[in-house]
Structure 1
Amino acid sequence: MEPSPSHSGSGTHELSGPLVVTIDGPAGAGKSTVAKKLAERLGIRYLDTGAMYRAVALAGHRQGVNWHDNEQVRRLLQSLELHVEQDRIFLNGEDVSDLIRSPEITRETARAADVPLVREFLIAQQRAIAARESLVTEGRDQGTLVFPDARVKFFLVASPEERARRRWRDFKEKGIDIAYEKVLEELLQRDEQDSRRPFGALKKAPDAIEIQTDGLSVDQVVDVLLKHVRSHVGTNSLGE
């Protein structure tokens, strides 16, 4: 069951239930890092929805699932137990937090995320978590499809070149050898795919606040978001 917060918009609203803050935007816009730090500043949970999709993709990859075969997908989902704890995700008890970040699983995730059964499965889990506790959640359809009534919604944007540089640096830090040009090429393809998905397409919610992150540090972006959250929901109920 979805939480029932008041509609996001101008003005201040005191909390009457779990606070849901959504951060959407294209791949490489810095959503995960910003969402994690914002949640920490607010004293609430960070929910990495992308990791949930990646974990399902990893499971499907291991089992050789044909994502176009609904029966195979249904059996896969029935066998899965996902547990998200801080910045770690567990698949049937196994910590797969690092395994899901490889380029191979990134490509597999793009295919898995197009499957309505997968999205329905994970959206139900995400809403169940939000019904129990306040959280910051990020993805591409959190403010439009998953939590349309979230109190505060953000849409982060950055140039393709800047996003590719960020992703390339992430790969380098993890010891993954991949050319910047390849990262940029795949990111542009991902942008095209994400905007055209039949279910859960990347789209800015009408009431989302757009934040341009080019030239801003993570902490600067978090400061901007925090001010907006405070102006929307007041300060009495926040973690700070």
Structure 2
Amino acid sequence: MTTHAVMPPESTKTPVPVIAIDGPTASGKGTIAHRVAAALGWATLDSGALYRLTALAALDRSLSADDEAGVAEVARALDVRFYGGRIFLENNEVSDAIRQEQVGNFASRIAAYPAVRQALLERQRVFRVPPGLVADGRDMGTVVFPDAALKVFLVADVQARAERRCKQLIEKGISANLDDLLRDMRERDARDTQRSVAPLVAATDAHVLDSSSLTIEQTVQAVLDFWKGT
């Protein structure tokens, strides 16, 4: 008698686990996400890079940040590649270029547009591959991966964040002014938290972690401890 294997229904399949790390700009979520992923042997998603790449491509085309339709079209057609820790836009490495403050401010403005967010939503979800994904951004746990196995909302005092960003830029040879960074960061926080679509907010089931007085190693360990406890 011939027997046939019975496949489980789609709804019973266990989804690839996701650790979602959200938080305001310069809270250290990118660094923490990469180190947590390295410790677990998982993939990473820097969602902010996709918005910065969209911003850089729009700036290269001389588009205005007020042109929602034009920027959304750029997002849909984005020719981007992540390879070995480097980021390429239309075959040009832009790993450092997307970290410029001008690009970051443009990205913060266009991130409020529903059409841009929708254009990048599915691009982000394809990063969810076995054995797991650590995703960082501003709406990973609330919108992109609402079923994430672990959600962490990483916060830090705005002064501490501005000082971190200033140090990062100077180490990369980019001129930076702390007062300007502090002002820009407060404005960006206001835009991110007050926008009508996918505002920056901790998911109801997220662990809120204040890294103001923690080292990178301590913050990474805290996230790993959260994971062990899931």
- Please, what TM-score do these two structures have when normalized by structure 2? 0.89
Mapped pair 1:190 → 2:188: yes
Larger radius of gyration: 2
Q: Which amino acid aligns with 1:212?
A: D
Distance 1:156 1:70 in 2: 29
Distance 2:92 2:128 in 1: 24
Matched residue, 2:88: 90
Task: Give the secondary-structure state (helix, strand or coil) at the position aligned to 1:175.
Answer: coil
CA RMSD of aligned residues (A): 2.0
Aligned 8 A contact 2:76 2:120 in 1: no
Distance 1:149 1:169 in 2: 35
Residues 139-218 of structure 1: pairs in structure 2 closer than 5 A: 139-218=137-216
- How many Å apart are 1:174 and its aligned residue? 1.2
Q: Which amino acid aligns with 1:227?
A: D
Higher relative contact order (CA 8 A, sep 6+): 1
- How many Å apart are 1:17 and its aligned residue? 3.2
Match of 1:52 among 44, 50, 53: 50
Mapped pair 1:117 → 2:115: yes
Aligned residues: 221
Alignment CA distance shift 1:71-1:185 (3 Å) = closer
Q: Which runs of 5+ in 2 are unaligned?
A: 1-9
Distance 1:186 1:140 in 2: 17
Q: Which amino acid aligns with 1:192?
A: A
Distance 1:70 1:177 in 2: 30
Task: Give the secondary-structure state (helix, strand or coil) at the position aligned to 2:126.
Answer: helix
Distance 1:201 1:5 in 2: 29
Aligned 8 A contact 2:19 2:133 in 1: yes
- How many Å apart are 1:72 and its aligned residue? 2.2
> Which consecutive segments of 4 or more residues in structure 1 shift more than 3 A?
66-71
Distance 1:78 1:140 in 2: 20
Residues 62-101 of structure 1: pairs in structure 2 closer than 5 A: 62-101=60-99
Q: Which amino acid aligns with 1:104?
A: Q
Q: Which runs of 5+ in 1 are unaligned?
A: 7-14, 233-240
Aligned 8 A contact 2:36 2:224 in 1: yes
